[in-house]
């Protein structure tokens, strides 16, 4: 959501108003891209539909304390279901683009065979997504989202509360979850650990984006810098997935056999696989050296907000819990407690506690 989009100015913005805007915006995005997905005319349609699902799911969870649980949980679960299916298609679209570059220099027929194998996997994933989008479950999801956009299922006690009082503790909590996860990493983190960081950065970014129009502070800057963290980690995840897919193709003759009729499915195909693997490993090595510097730039904004303190150089990503690391996390622990999604303190007073330059936008009438 663009800054201030859907809010109609800097007046007293209630929780129900922000939830309505968040659901409406991404439901519109999903519906706009639905025919593009169904007709399979542009991979961007799949990408945008997937983004709509994961943003709605993340933002509903951001407002979890204000939304009635009976309505929240089924929406979150069904958005996860649809987003996973669309994500499988999107991942293979991204993989296909990478493979075209990765196989540069390999025999032409072998490269074509690798791409055909990817296309077969993509066809299967796309068929699963289309079956889902023709299902009763999907139609009911759209109906429930439409109902939620028109009349958000907000608890009566929260509906008229200023949204800033609900959002700021959540943004801070999600930032602290991300920072704590970075602090606990070893200096050479595994791919699955970096994937977890990507998920946490995505949640923190979406929370900051929806809260940014309600403040006159640095949340917009924070969201933009977290987006860069998410991008680098996303590229690492894409590379890791590519390596896994290529290794599977290399190790399982049956997968190579699917494309043998078209030529290039034998030893030449393995040449292309090895060329692609070398390219992916090289790209991964470069990306693994980048993400910490990008995270540190986001962290500079959090320090200015009073949500973080400057750690000793060895503390972030050291995987240890020394005295300096404990001091660095003291401010975080006071409000976050643990990495589990514990409920933050409610109310505007708690929302702005320790927020540094972050201020709620004053009411204009």
Quote the pLDDT of residue 362.
Answer: 36
Residues 6+ apart with CB under 8 A from 157: none
Quote the pLDDT of residue 150.
Answer: 95
- Contact between 291 and 317 under an 8 Å Cβ cutoff? The reply is no
**Helices assigned H by DSSP within 151-266:** 156-159, 163-183, 191-211, 219-251, 253-257
pTM of the model as a whole? 0.80
The whole-angstrom separation of Cα 182 and Cα 77 is 27
Quote the pLDDT of residue 127.
Answer: 98
Quote the pLDDT of residue 337.
Answer: 35
Q: Options 3.40.640.10, 1.40.20.10, 1.20.210.10, 3.60.20.10; which CATH number does 15-334 get? A: 1.40.20.10
Mean pLDDT for back-to-back runs of 10 residues, the chain (365 residues): 42 86 96 97 97 96 93 96 98 97 92 94 97 98 97 92 90 96 92 95 95 85 96 96 95 78 65 95 90 95 86 49 36 36 36 37 35
Residue 15 main-chain phi, psi, to 5 deg: -60, -45
Quote the pLDDT of residue 356.
Answer: 35
């Amino acid at each position: 959501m663009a800054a201030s989009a859907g809010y109609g100015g800097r007046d007293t913005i209630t929780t129900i108003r922000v939830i309505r805007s968040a659901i409406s915006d991404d439901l519109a995005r999903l519906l706009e891209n639905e025919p593009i997905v169904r007709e399979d005319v542009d991979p961007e349609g799949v990408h945008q539909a997937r983004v709509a699902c994961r943003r709605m799911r993340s933002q509903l969870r951001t407002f979890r304390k204000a939304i009635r649980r009976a309505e929240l949980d089924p929406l979150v679960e069904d958005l996860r279901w649809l987003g996973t299916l669309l994500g499988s298609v999107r991942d293979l679209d991204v993989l296909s683009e990478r493979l075209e570059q990765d196989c540069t220099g390999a025999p032409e027929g072998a490269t074509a065979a690798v791409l055909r194998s990817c296309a077969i996997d993509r066809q299967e994933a796309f068929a699963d997504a289309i079956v889902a989008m023709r299902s009763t479950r999907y139609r009911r999801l759209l109906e429930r989202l439409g109902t939620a956009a028109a009349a958000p299922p907000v608890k009566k006690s929260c509906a008229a509360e200023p949204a800033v009082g609900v959002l700021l503790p959540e943004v801070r909590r999600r930032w602290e979850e991300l920072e704590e996860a970075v602090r606990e990493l070893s200096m050479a983190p595994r791919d699955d650990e970096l994937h977890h960081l990507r998920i946490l950065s995505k949640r923190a970014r979406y929370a900051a984006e929806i809260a940014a129009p309600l403040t006159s502070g640095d949340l917009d800057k924070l969201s933009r810098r977290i987006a860069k963290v998410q991008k680098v980690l996303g590229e690492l995840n894409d590379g890791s997935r590519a390596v896994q897919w290529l290794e599977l193709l290399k190790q399982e003759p049956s997968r190579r056999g699917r494309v043998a009729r078209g030529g290039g499915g034998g030893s030449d195909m393995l040449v292309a696989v090895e060329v692609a693997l070398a390219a992916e490993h090289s790209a991964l090595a470069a990306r693994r050296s980048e993400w910490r510097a990008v995270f540190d730039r986001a962290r500079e904004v959090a320090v200015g907000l009073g949500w973080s303190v400057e750690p000793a150089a060895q503390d972030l990503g050291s995987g240890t819990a020394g005295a300096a690391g404990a001091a660095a996390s003291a401010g975080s622990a006071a409000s976050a407690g643990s990495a589990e999604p514990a409920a933050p303190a409610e109310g505007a007073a708690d929302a702005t506690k320790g927020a540094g330059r972050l201020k709620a936008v004053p009411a204009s009438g």
